[in-house]
Amino acid sequence: MALDLVIKNGTVVDGSGMPRYRADVGVKGGRIVEIGRIRAAAERTIDAEGMIVAPGFIDGHTHMDAQVAWDPIGSCSCWHGVTSVVMGNCGFALAPCKPEDREWFARCLTAVEDIPTEAMLAGIEWNWETFPEYLANVERLPKALNYGMYIGHSALRMYAMGKRALDQTATEDDLRLMADAVTEAIKCGALGFSTSRASTHITPDGSPVASRIAEWEEIDRLVGAMAALNAGIFQIGPDISGGEAQRVFLDRLRKVALDSGRPIMFGTLATRQGVAPNPWDYQMRWMDETVAAGGRVYGQATTRSINAIFSLRSYLPFDTLPAWKAVRALPLAEQKHRLADPEVRRQLVAEEALMKPKGAELQGGGAATTDPRKPDYENLFPMFDVDWDDPSVAELSRRHNKHPVEVIIDLALENDNRVFVQPLVNESPADVLGLLKHPRSLATFSDSGAHVCQEMGSSLQTHLLSYWVRKREEFTLEEAVRMLTFDNASAWELEGRGLVRTGYAADLVVFDERRIKPRLPTVEEDLPGGARRLVQKADGIAATIVNGAVAFENGETTGDYAGQVLKGPVAARR
Ligand SMILES: [Zn+2]
């Protein structure tokens, strides 16, 4: 029996956390069929001498719902060893959706997630209405990665209630319709149901998204529909307002966990923003207590700070000021010309004094870039490298005896791809480490596909391996790979993935543990319709294999798209 593919001479880090060993890995029919010294012939051989062979990484928190329609490779996650993603998070899904609501949906996704409306209208062939039709559409699309998806609450509520979803309590009829749709979605392959209570999630006119209008009883009912099938994950974008409000939120969420028995996922954050934020260890204790009481919960963590990202080619914090607006409306070359003019610079620097001071509200990547406050220059960093040790703009301003705005202008003129990051949450490495070390936290939460020009979390996997494993030595490679593979496969109930084992799907990543590292992000204009977005690639990954097909070699797509839809256990068993 000739194999389709053999990865020879590599060192297997199998995803379980067990120590590494040298072995060849043989693949046939999309599955791992042999591990050891393989003598059988193969159609294709990859020499992995000196390389690690690990299960492909799994990212459970993305917003690729729109992008999957126009981007078969699944960027930017695909450049970081990811082979499977979960989309439809935080209640934002593209299904179910009535034809007359499509444009409004697109505008909501623009408002919340910075996915350009023109890209969605140009890049998507909207040929679905129900969730099963959307899933079937994703099944047909060419895709290099595997995609799992939730049915999203904001979409579902709009579908069931029309514009009433934006300000009214659901009636019994609405609830029945929504619960039936959740049941139908789980039966046809949804991984679960997602919602949001986050204050940063707003419609284009600034009002709360539909899911935030729902009473908790509505959530009980919809999670209850999953509980009746004993299947499905409940993902919730948490109330992040802080203080008493967030504690009340968490207590009510505990009731959902205990009543339903379904796994619950929410984003755990450490932040100094907002009013009286509850520290990350409060959220961890809450998880431990909920599990002790009989619930099943996971906290989604990032591997670095979540940042608002600025650059000359995208947003700058000063863009809304009048003199800046005039300059920023010009073509890039002309902007650079003006920014170099001493008279113009004096005016631009002076205008910064007019900016709104930072308020008490928590700003996400959206508002922080589109409605920026006067920057705290101690918390704004030009990115010279992807590690966590760049000097702040304030420090550079002191060092060079220049106004912080001039520091930014000079660095931007020197390199128009230079990005500046303003950590919003998980600002401190110590807090992120605490989050990641907790056994119930998951290293996931790239937000890939969203905030396309505002944030860049797609490098979370390569950052974990380069920064926390290689530079800081806080995790062994085996532990870190387990976090990115088996842990996430287990939490999302993805059967047959997340380990290098015979019989498992051949989702594999071959990388050099001495070199793997994210590159600096850049701004590219490559969305449908030419809209801009942040792009971040990585070094040190030799090959990424999805369902047995070599999808990427040295960071380049091969055009072999073998990605599948990841279905929840009810549909997968049928
Ligand atoms: Zn999200």
- pLDDT, tens only, 268-287: 888 887 778 889 999 999 99
Please compute the mean of the pLDDT values over residues 446-471 and round it to a whole number.
91
- CB within 8 A of 445, min separation 6: which ones? 59, 60, 61, 267, 300, 301, 302, 457, 460
Task: Give the percent of the chain with pLDDT over 90.
Answer: 76
Q: Ligand 1 centroid to 452 CA: how many Å? A: 13
With beta carbons less than 8 A apart as the criterion, state whether 24 and 38 touch: yes
Q: Ligand 1 centroid to 502 CA: how many Å? A: 34
- Give the span between the Cα atoms of 126 and 401, in whole angstroms: 55
Task: Give the percent of the chain with pLDDT over 70.
Answer: 99
- Give the span between the Cα atoms of 545 and 558, in whole angstroms: 10
Per-residue pLDDT band at 1 (split at 50, 70, 90): low
With beta carbons less than 8 A apart as the criterion, state whether 567 and 552 touch: no
Q: Ligand 1 centroid to 85 CA: how many Å? A: 13
- Give the span between the Cα atoms of 395 and 276, in whole angstroms: 28
pTM of the model: 0.95
Q: Ligand 1 centroid to 92 CA: how many Å? A: 8
Q: Minimum mean pLDDT among 410-414, 476-480, 530-534: which range?
A: 530-534
Q: Ligand 1 centroid to 237 CA: how many Å? A: 6
Reply yes or no on whether the pLDDT at 73 is more than 70. yes
- Give the span between the Cα atoms of 424 and 61, in whole angstroms: 18
User: What pLDDT score does 250 carry?
Assistant: 95
Which residue do the tokens 């046939």 mark?
28
Sign for the CA dihedral angle at 301, 303, 304, 308 comes to negative
- Compute CA distances 84 → 339, 368, 505, whole Å: 43, 30, 11
Q: Using N-to-C axis directions, what is the helix angle for 393-400 and 404-414, rounded to 10°?
A: 100
Q: Ligand 1 centroid to 232 CA: how many Å? A: 18
Q: Ligand 1 centroid to 363 CA: how many Å? A: 15
Per-residue pLDDT band at 359 (split at 50, 70, 90): confident
Tell how strand 556-557 and strand 549-553 pair up.
antiparallel
Q: Ligand 1 centroid to 285 CA: how many Å? A: 23
Tokens representing residue 358 in the block:
């930072």
Nearest in space to 231 (alpha carbons), one of 267, 195, 196, 188: 188
Bridge partners, residue 11, by sequence: 22, 52
Reply yes or no on whether the pLDDT at 365 is more than 70. no
Q: Ligand 1 centroid to 375 CA: how many Å? A: 25
Reply yes or no on whether the pLDDT at 362 is more than 80. no
Q: Minimum mean pLDDT among 415-419, 508-512, 513-517: which range?
A: 415-419
Burial 126-138 (b: 16+ CB within 10 A, else e): bebbbbbebbebb
User: In sequence order, which ranges of 234-353 are alpha helices (DSSP H)?
Assistant: 243-260, 280-292, 322-328, 332-339, 342-351
Q: Ligand 1 centroid to 62 CA: how many Å? A: 7
Average pLDDT, the chain: 93
Q: Ligand 1 centroid to 90 CA: how many Å? A: 5
Reply yes or no on whether the pLDDT at 112 is more than 90. no
Query: What amino acid is encoded at 215 in this protein?
Result: E
Q: Ligand 1 centroid to 455 CA: how many Å? A: 12
Q: Minimum mean pLDDT among 131-135, 183-187, 237-241, 279-283: which range?
A: 237-241
Q: Ligand 1 centroid to 372 CA: how many Å? A: 21
